[in-house]
Amino acid sequence: MLNRQRLILALLDRMGGPIQHTMLVKLAFLLRHETAVGQDRTFYQFVPYRHGPFSFALYRELDSLRRDGYVEHGERSFSLIPRTKRLSLDQIERLNSTQVEAVDSVVTEYGRRTRPALLRDVYQRYPWYSINSEEEKYLPDDLPEPPRREVAAYTVGYEGKSVDEFFNGLLEAGMTGLLDVRANPASRKYGFAKRSMSRIAGNLGLVYHHLPELGITGDHRASLSDFESYQRLLDRYERTMLPKRTRHLREATSLLKSQPLALLCMERDVRCCHRGRLASRIADDGGLRVEHL
């Protein structure tokens, strides 16, 4: 079990009973933002959603904890399963003292507040995370306007990011959606396969397009081993592959000129990803500038 999951079990234990879904997510959010837990990049990150800060990864792992027999997921609340509580306590005991103190401090400060009081407080102090909220009566007076970038040939990679960190970054950058240019949009990392990415994007009000024809298939990547081998492949992509894909290039150029979309692929370093070469070609064709997010 991951430490972040143990911290959620500890929150459920310290609260002493069922916790409303929204309340648990907000307590986890406060763990990240107001305790030493926030120094751990592997802990859940958050994105503005229907009831304020939300973590798609947290909800997925709560479902895993339910399947594994640790957590009950009621219609409106989460709680530890009584008959397996000893197993949960065994996991909680593996947390270090700093993590335990972080959980205790959040529960002491916020655990007894009502849902309206907690939402109002979080929205007031972290207004960015309330921009997509449906809870209008709790919104701060100085609610920030979501940014909106001018159109350009934007690119973005998701390597090393959680799904919530990735989508929060897109919203902060003023993107309205993604143009996925992976030939094979699969991923072992939650949230980055085509189906889940499209669903999460839609939930956040972002559009998702996929043009696999502009990607590089796996057979061309088999011999990649260092920076130079990447450059040889990308040179070949630019010289011999892209000229054969004029229809899809026109489609991509039209999409990027219509609204601020980011060309999506996996690699962190754009110099080792075809999206950089593709963005340059689209920029030349469409009279756009290039920006790597």
Compute the residue count for the chain.
Answer: 293
Bridge partners for 54 per DSSP: 47
Which strands, in side-by-side order, build the sheet including 19-20?
Answer: 19-20, 77-80, 71-73
pLDDT per residue rounded down to tens, the chain (293 residues): 999 999 999 999 999 889 999 999 999 999 999 999 999 999 999 999 999 999 999 999 999 999 999 999 888 899 999 999 999 999 999 999 999 999 999 999 999 999 999 999 999 999 999 999 999 999 988 888 889 899 999 999 999 999 999 999 999 999 999 999 999 999 999 999 999 999 999 999 999 999 999 998 876 676 767 788 778 888 888 898 899 899 999 999 999 999 999 999 999 999 989 999 999 999 999 999 999 99
- Rounded-to-integer distance, Cα 257 and Cα 142, Å: 32
Q: Which residues contact 122 (CB under 8 A, 6 or more apart)?
A: 26, 29, 30, 52, 53, 129, 130
In angstroms, the Cα distances linking 119 to 8, 50, 135, 170, 273 are 19, 12, 9, 24, 41
- Rounded-to-integer distance, Cα 197 and Cα 180, Å: 10
DSSP annotation of 121: H
Token output for 126: 């972290």
DSSP annotation of 142: T
User: β-strands 52-54, 261-265: how paired?
Assistant: unpaired
Q: Which residues contact 278 (CB under 8 A, 6 or more apart)?
A: 155, 181, 214, 242, 252, 263
CATH architecture label of 3-138: Orthogonal Bundle (1.10)
Per-residue pLDDT, 222: 65
The pTM of the full predicted model, rounded to 2 decimals, is 0.92
- Rounded-to-integer distance, Cα 120 and Cα 113, Å: 11
Per-residue pLDDT, 233: 81
Q: What is the amino acid identity at position 123?
A: Y
Token output for 223: 């011999």
Per-residue pLDDT, 102: 97
Q: Hey, where are the domains in the chain? A: 3-138, 153-292
